[in-house]
Structure 1
């Protein structure tokens, strides 16, 4: 296998450049990840009636819990549980959000050792979720409320800092960037500094460029092409590309027909430095990611028989 490295810009024998990770080996919940040679698959469970992709398929509590358990059994490393969509919409109280996410967190924590993350921008929801068994807070608003970082720091959890520009659940029509990648990187660097100032250490920080979040399709394509510039921040990079509109618009595919495009976007993201991919179809995504790891020399084949057995005499 090729040697892994955390030196910026060093090219492996595979021809790929690894991100200059500050703290590649992480203990998250009960699982250990070495992001210098490993990619985590984050499954998605939305307990919302209006999620952009599944349109409420896992809104019922029993369906949400079963989907979370099924994802873990299908090989997901993480399960991300959300009670409020990112898209603009009516206000949902913190109490209602807690009613949606806490029972799923508690049920999954009692049945699996999978890493559990909660997609929220509210400090009070994050605090209760961590107490219930969540290990990660996935904030798609880029610490719009910096108190969230205090909760994460006190709760010994990991924080995902995501690029987005609008206030929570507010629209941002026709977003403009002079250079979307440079501006996303600068934003993430500033918000990571805020998280650090509030006590979140480097080994509990993850960054996400926010594909499609306040961005056009061309912006998201550019981010994917140049994701190595985001990874160069030194923190594990999360790529949330699954079934996004930039995939659908690039291919002219409706949401039910975006799996192949999503897997392609995830694969390109990994070879550009992503170390976590947030995906809807767990089994296909796990296979794609494990195959990339095998090609890169980071994992051995499950079996080796082809052309290694004696033929007929």
Structure 2
């Protein structure tokens, strides 16, 4: 099923002075690292969507499978049961862009059929059938870099040169997507903070996000409440707001297009202050 979806603000969003879109995280899983089980019930999940929209979210990102370090796989049937009814309800009750965080071709296909605006894939369409599903649609897709798999990705991450290696991965995946019939302008890139990176590598990546700008595609940054903040500051998951906001501001200053967060209201406020300041530089 082909849908006419435009890319999230297009690659032009990388221009200096533009304000990133805020993507609110909605984990409908029992084992998410930050809010596992909190929004697993349908009613609570829908209420959280309403709250995030009220708080200023531009996009809602629904995840039906945890990708935290050590996470176990979820069956296709379970993921569909968690994600698709909620997607349908959001589309029926709200006017908001919805992203589906999945690496399964069938989940992607059904999500697109029910109106998903973005596919957000931590495996960058490397799983069987995913390229073909996206090639048959016009929905934008976010390609994330991950070294290894969730179960083992943090055991011993190694790079010859972290920025160069991730950039090469993106170049290869962009080429594969284009060869499969997915137009370049539909792609969004996520360097994958915390997905097979050490503490130092994560902060090098944050500091040097601008080095991906020559790829000419929008960037998504997702650092919210992650261990790169907790380990640096010795803070529990529910004590990482200050660190999350700081990384969001840094990412915005590096001209990312989308910032993926748990704390929508606070992030929107922080970005408004930054935007007002940038206005007078």
Residue 41 of structure 1 aligns to a residue whose secondary structure is strand
Residue 136 of structure 2 aligns to a residue whose secondary structure is helix
Task: Please point out which of 195, 202, 210 is paired with 1:213.
Answer: 195
Deviations 1:223-275 (A, max 9, x none): 00101012331110000010010011111111111111111111111111211
Matches within 5 A, 1:233-248: 233-248=215-230
The higher-RCO structure (CA 8 Å, 6+ apart) is: 2
Query: TM-score, structure 2 length as denominator?
Result: 0.91
2:30 matches 1:40: no
Structure 1 position 297, deviation (Å): 2.4
2:53 matches 1:72: yes
Uncovered stretches (5+) of structure 2, i.e. residues with no partner: none
1:60 corresponds to: 41
Deviations 1:285-311 (A, max 9, x none): 11112222222229xxxxxxxxxxxxx
Task: Please point out which of 280, 286, 296 is paired with 2:278.
Answer: 296
RMSD (Å) for aligned C-alpha atoms: 1.8
2:85 corresponds to: 103
Matches within 5 A, 1:3-152: 27-28=6-7, 35=13, 36=15, 37-87=18-68, 88-145=70-127, 147-152=129-134
Deviations 1:11-61 (A, max 9, x none): xxxxxxxxxxxxxxx935xx8566132310000000000001012111111
State which structure, 1 or 2, has the greater radius of gyration over its C-alpha atoms: 1
Uncovered stretches (5+) of structure 1, i.e. residues with no partner: 1-25, 299-313
Task: Please say if residues 209 and 230 of structure 1, whose CA atoms lie closer than 8 Å, have aligned partners that are also in contact.
Answer: no
Deviations 1:75-107 (A, max 9, x none): 100000000011333332111100000111111
The 4+ residue runs of structure 1 with deviation greater than 6 A are none
* Distance in 1, Cα, partners of 2:112 & 2:6: 15
Change (3 A) 1:205 1:286: same
Residue 27 of structure 1 aligns to a residue whose secondary structure is coil
Task: Please say if residues 149 and 159 of structure 1, whose CA atoms lie closer than 8 Å, have aligned partners that are also in contact.
Answer: no
Task: Please say if residues 127 and 155 of structure 1, whose CA atoms lie closer than 8 Å, have aligned partners that are also in contact.
Answer: no
2:238 matches 1:259: no
Structure 1 position 121, deviation (Å): 0.4
Residue 197 of structure 2 aligns to a residue whose secondary structure is coil
Deviates more, 1:93-102 or 1:289-298: 289-298
* Distance in 2, Cα, partners of 1:32 & 1:276: 10
| Larger helix fraction of residues | 2
Residue 232 of structure 1 aligns to a residue whose secondary structure is helix
2:174 corresponds to: 192
Task: Please say if residues 120 and 126 of structure 1, whose CA atoms lie closer than 8 Å, have aligned partners that are also in contact.
Answer: yes
Residue 181 of structure 1 aligns to a residue whose secondary structure is helix
Q: Number of aligned residue pairs: give it.
A: 270
Structure 1 position 139, deviation (Å): 0.3
* Distance in 1, Cα, partners of 2:179 & 2:273: 39
2:183 corresponds to: 201
Task: Please say if residues 39 and 275 of structure 1, whose CA atoms lie closer than 8 Å, have aligned partners that are also in contact.
Answer: yes
* Distance in 1, Cα, partners of 2:213 & 2:101: 21
Task: Please say if residues 103 and 121 of structure 2, whose CA atoms lie closer than 8 Å, have aligned partners that are also in contact.
Answer: yes
Task: Please say if residues 242 and 278 of structure 1, whose CA atoms lie closer than 8 Å, have aligned partners that are also in contact.
Answer: yes
